[in-house]
Structure 1
């Protein structure tokens, strides 16, 4: 993911957690907050130590990033927003297609993307 599309600072994460809206499913939680300065949007990923050891957490982060890339190619998402994706414990057992389905479900639930299927 490109540098300008990432949320990295703790203060940015705290703002989104405090002022943003959230939706969740069994595997992931999605926070979204309006950010007029964000060009065009920014994503943050959080994976707790509860999910697994460092190898598993890094694998989960890589799969989430790849699922985001895949969805960005297929759908137009809302601009000027900050998004944070939090992995829950079942995410450690998931593969890429499952991450894509789960993220797509959250995006539709939050009305970030419009789909006919």
Structure 2
């Protein structure tokens, strides 16, 4: 993901946690908040040590980034997202991750259904 699409600073994460809303399923929690200044969306990822070792956590993050890249045209703009992966994601393949993320994003009405990728 390009830098303009990333949330990196702790202060940005905390702002989304405190002032945003969340939606969840068994595999993911997605926090979202209307962004103040940028016209694009930004995504922050959080994969805790409970998910697995460093190799597993990095694999999960790569899968999530690829799903976000594919869903980019459908994601609502001018929002900051924080995606937290839960333990079951360690055993999932790409298609399961994509299906689960689409499910949770639809639950939160964060996907623009008019635009298809």
TM-score (norm 1): 0.92
Cross-structure match for 2:41? 41
Cross-structure match for 2:15? 15
- Higher mean displacement: 107-116 or 19-28: 107-116
Structure 2, unaligned runs of 5 or more: none
Between the two proteins, the alignment pairs up a number of residues equal to: 114
- In 1, the alpha carbon distance for the partners of 2:6 and 2:39 equals 11
Could you list the structure 1 runs, at least 4 aligned residues long, displaced by more than 6 angstroms after superposition.
Answer: none
- CA deviation after TM superposition for structure 1 residue 112, in Å: 1.4
Cross-structure match for 2:66? 66
* SS across alignment from 2:81: strand
Cross-structure match for 1:91? 89
* SS across alignment from 1:7: coil
- CA deviation after TM superposition for structure 1 residue 95, in Å: 0.7
- In 2, the alpha carbon distance for the partners of 1:33 and 1:94 equals 27
- In 2, the alpha carbon distance for the partners of 1:53 and 1:9 equals 23
Structure 1, unaligned runs of 5 or more: none
RMSD: 1.3
Cross-structure match for 1:106? 104
TM-score (norm 2): 0.92
- CA deviation after TM superposition for structure 1 residue 79, in Å: 1.2
- In 1, the alpha carbon distance for the partners of 2:112 and 2:10 equals 31
